[in-house]
Amino acid sequence: KGLFTYDPGFVSTAATDSAITFIDGGKGTLLHRGYPIEQLAEQSDFLEVCYLLLNGELPNADQKAEFVNTVTRHTMVHESIADFFKGFRRDAHPMAIMCGVVGALSAFYHDSLDITNPRHREISAFRLVAKMPTLAAMTYKHGIGQPFIYPRNDLSFAENFLHMMFATPAEEYKVNPVLANAMDKIFLLHADHEQNASTSTVRLAGSSGANPFACIASGIAALWGPAHGGANEAVLTMLEEIGDESKIDEFVARAKDKNDPFRLMGFGHRVYKNYDPRATVMRQCCDEVLAELGLENDPLLKIAKRLEQIALEDPYFVEKKLYPNVDFYSGIILKALGIPVEMFTVIFATGRTIGWISHWNEMISGSYKIGRPRQLYTGAAPRDFVSLDNR
């Protein structure tokens, strides 16, 4: 042990410095470039936060207009990518498809893969942020067997995503501003969260000099698991499984039972030992969306609120400081927007792409070393090879 620090799970190891995002887990504070997440969610929008994360400052009106225009002009994907989709089974999990197609983007954009060139890095960031919703919606359309819907430049980022998801050649998608605003907020609240598992994966992949599309594909793979981005899908599945308020106690008891691997999904966080500030905004947004759709009595919402109340009072959760996290309410909103559960983590990835690429760009712009953790070897002591006849 004496040679290096042993820290499985990186519980107490900082692998980098970063000027992008600050979290005080004890207080439940989240700042992007110094701005509180609550203020950004209330007064800003997703693309403005993208600019902020990438460039370090809020844009002025001209800078914002130019940034929005540039992202909007990069939303189309190469037509051959549509053929790429045809190779996937229709029942494939959308995250499985996303791991493949995002990595494949590097095969289409050779012209700007010189990572030492700041302009190339910037174009890759634009391309990734702009094309993620297009690819996400194509994944959904492929699954349900509908034709792909092309992006529209006259719509906002969130409106355009909903349009590509729900319009058909036969019928336009009528944008409801309350729902589009909620969609934008979901992207915004997921935009960055410092050195979580997927962002650290992107940095590690990037530290070898891999291209940004390959690095983001590695982030998508790391996000997929239920302990990370897959939690939003797992929360909804859990709420549906609980099914009725009368069964909540049974599930809470299971979560507390050391012999049962079940955990209350959407609760707990490695860093937050207080309310996740994103969860507070998400809860409010959830109320607004359900009120707009006349779904205030949605049974899943009732179960979620009751479960939250019980868990917040239960000594097990109180002592372990297990509070609802960002994904506890996002699934209910997404379901109300008509988005199927298997797309939830894809939406998380779409919002988080700006965080991943901002961290990658921050690392590549400065001095960095290849990430190379060490290990504690626990295998066999040195021994002589035994020939096949003697084994």
Q: Does 277 bind ligand CMC (CB under 6 A)?
A: no
d(CA 72, CA 378): 52
Q: How far is CA 348 from CA 47, 304, 307, in A?
A: 15, 20, 23
Nearer CB in complex with ligand CMC: 143/268: 268
Asked if 278 interacts with ligand CMC (CB under 6 A), we say no
Q: Least distance from C-beta 366 to ligand CMC, angstroms?
A: 25
Out of 15, 107, 178, 227, the residue judged to bind ligand CMC by CB under 6 A: 227
> Please, which residues have CB within 8 angstroms of residue 287's CB and are 6 or more apart in sequence?
296
Query: What values do phi and psi take at 35, rounded to 5?
Result: -90, 130
Contact region with ligand CMC (CB under 6 A), list: 17-25, 94-102, 148-156, 324-332 = 324-332
Residue whose CB is less far from ligand CMC, 206 or 268: 268
268 binds ligand CMC (CB under 6 A): yes
**Nearest to ligand CMC of 160, 330 (CB atom):** 330
Nearest to 219, CA basis, from 200, 239, 234:
200
**Cα gap 175→39, rounded to integer Å:** 25
Question: x/- string (CB under 6 A) for ligand CMC, residues 196-225?
Answer: x-----------------------------
Sequence-separated (6 or more) residues with CB below 8 Å from residue 87: none
Task: Give least dist CB 239 to ligand CMC, A.
Answer: 13
**Residue 121 interacts with ligand CMC (CB under 6 A): yes or no:** no
**Catalytic residue selected from 32, 193, 269, 359:** 269
In a 13 Å sphere around the CA of 354, the CA atoms on its Cβ side amount to 27
Total residues contacting ligand CMC (rule CB under 6 A)? 20
Q: Contact, 51 vs 63, CB < 8 A?
A: yes
Nearest-approach distance from CB 216 to ligand CMC, in angstroms: 16
Q: Helices 177-189 and 157-166 meet at what angle, rounded to 10?
A: 110
Specify the DSSP element, H or E, that contains 24: strand 21-24
Task: Please select the residue that binds ligand CMC; options are 94, 103, 266, 351, rule is CB under 6 A.
Answer: 266
Active site residue 327: yes
Alpha-carbon span 324 to 304, nearest angstrom: 10
Stretch that binds ligand CMC, among 62-70, 175-183, 207-215, 227-235 (CB under 6 A): 227-235
Distance separating alpha carbons of residues 327 and 348, to the nearest angstrom: 9
Q: Is 52 in the site for ligand CMC (CB under 6 A)?
A: no
Task: Give me the residues that bind ligand CMC (CB under 6 A), please.
Answer: 193, 196, 227-229, 231, 255, 263-270, 320, 322, 325-327
Residue positions annotated with a catalytic role: 269, 327
